């Protein structure tokens, strides 16, 4: 880390801001942090009633563009609706992405989540094709998401409700994923398809 600060002295400023944020988050009963948690910049953490976020050891959350190889459009957002829960495993890195749980999102250990990824376990609205005028008054149904260990999710990907992504899989940038996929699968496209299994 010292060599990175020497290369970019501004990094120290963002790490200090992150350290202050961690101290504030530790005061909350529903935001559980283990040792080694590192924030670069300030994420948006929005935890509603009867919900919680659980972070493993050595997690990194980046919310700034400086020093990252692609453009981050917004800071990282961790958002739980009432009753929702987010679990993130040890050593996982999340850069400028949104994780929104109405029910449950579980992300394993050693995962890489690139810039502008959206992981959502509920759609904003129902299709309501029988009564589209009422669509504006609906909310999507929640379906838990499980992302196993060692998964790499490329920039701008969207992981939709009910998805299961097996251990060691890779999701290509700009993919839209919905479904169940076994371990060590390369996924890509809109909608995402299996390109190769290893």
Active-site amino acid positions: 125
Task: Compute the Cα dihedral for 13, 95, 3, 33 and give only its sign.
Answer: positive
Question: CA–CA separation, 165 vs 113, rounded Å?
Answer: 13
Contact 81, 101 (CB under 8 A): yes
| Residue 151 burial (10 A CB sphere; 0-12, 13-18, 19+) | buried
Contact 49, 93 (CB under 8 A): no
DSSP structural state of residue 149: T
H or E element that contains 45: strand 44-47
Question: CA–CA separation, 189 vs 179, rounded Å?
Answer: 13
């Amino acid at each position: 880390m010292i060599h990175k600060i020497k290369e970019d002295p501004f990094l120290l400023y963002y790490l200090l801001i992150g350290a202050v944020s961690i101290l504030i988050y530790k005061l909350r009963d529903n935001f559980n942090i283990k040792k080694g948690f590192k924030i670069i910049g300030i994420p948006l953490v929005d935890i509603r009633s009867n919900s919680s976020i659980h972070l493993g050891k050595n997690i990194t959350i980046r919310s700034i563009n400086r020093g990252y190889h692609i453009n981050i459009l917004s800071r990282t957002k961790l958002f739980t609706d009432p009753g929702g829960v987010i679990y993130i495993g040890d050593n996982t890195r999340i850069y400028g992405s949104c994780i929104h749980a109405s029910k449950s999102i579980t992300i394993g250990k050693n995962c890489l989540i690139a810039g502008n990824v959206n992981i959502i376990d509920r759609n904003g609205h129902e299709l309501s094709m029988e009564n589209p005028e009422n669509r504006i008054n609906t909310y999507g149904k929640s379906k838990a998401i499980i992302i196993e260990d060692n998964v790499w999710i490329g920039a701008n990907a969207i992981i939709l409700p009910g998805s299961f992504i097996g251990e060691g899989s890779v999701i290509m940038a700009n993919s839209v994923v919905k479904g169940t996929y076994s371990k060590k699968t390369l996924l890509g496209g809109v909608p995402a398809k299996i390109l190769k299994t290893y």
